């Protein structure tokens, strides 16, 4: 029972980040899943994708209903993101974990630096 609360809290924090920042829940969720919920790294990445999708759909609905979404401006990113997501999903199993962790870490650092500039 206690583990379910940990999972719910981790999901809540990911959803909060997703709603506040328009995405980025995965950057919060993967470290929570590995450290707080004790999932191995590869399962944490895959679980994050599975959980973030519905959170993103919910966030899109909220932004859309509040008039903050330009669907036509988002369309090219959606197409590119779908292609990148498909390619990443295909390559995921073949990438060695140390490289995947480094790439994720660099992405987090890049995002953090860009947030301050």
Question: Is pLDDT of 1 > 80?
Answer: no
Q: How far is CA 37 from CA 15, 82, 87, 89, 98, in A?
A: 16, 28, 28, 23, 20
Identify the pLDDT of residue 23: 65
> What percent of the chain shows pLDDT beyond 90?
9
Question: Is pLDDT of 59 > 90?
Answer: no
> Measured between alpha carbons, how far is 15 from 29 in angstroms, rounded to an integer?
9
């Amino acid at each position: 029972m206690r583990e379910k609360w940990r999972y719910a809290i981790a999901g809540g924090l990911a959803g909060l980040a997703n709603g506040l920042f328009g995405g980025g829940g995965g950057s919060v969720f993967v470290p929570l899943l590995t450290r707080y919920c004790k999932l191995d790294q590869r399962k944490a990445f895959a679980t994050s994708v599975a959980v973030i999708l519905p959170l993103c759909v919910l966030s899109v609905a909220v932004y859309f209903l509040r008039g903050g979404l330009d669907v036509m401006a988002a369309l090219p990113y959606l197409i590119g993101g779908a292609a990148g997501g498909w390619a990443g999903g295909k390559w995921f199993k073949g990438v060695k974990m140390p490289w995947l962790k480094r790439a994720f870490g660099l992405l987090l650092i890049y995002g953090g630096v860009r947030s301050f500039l």
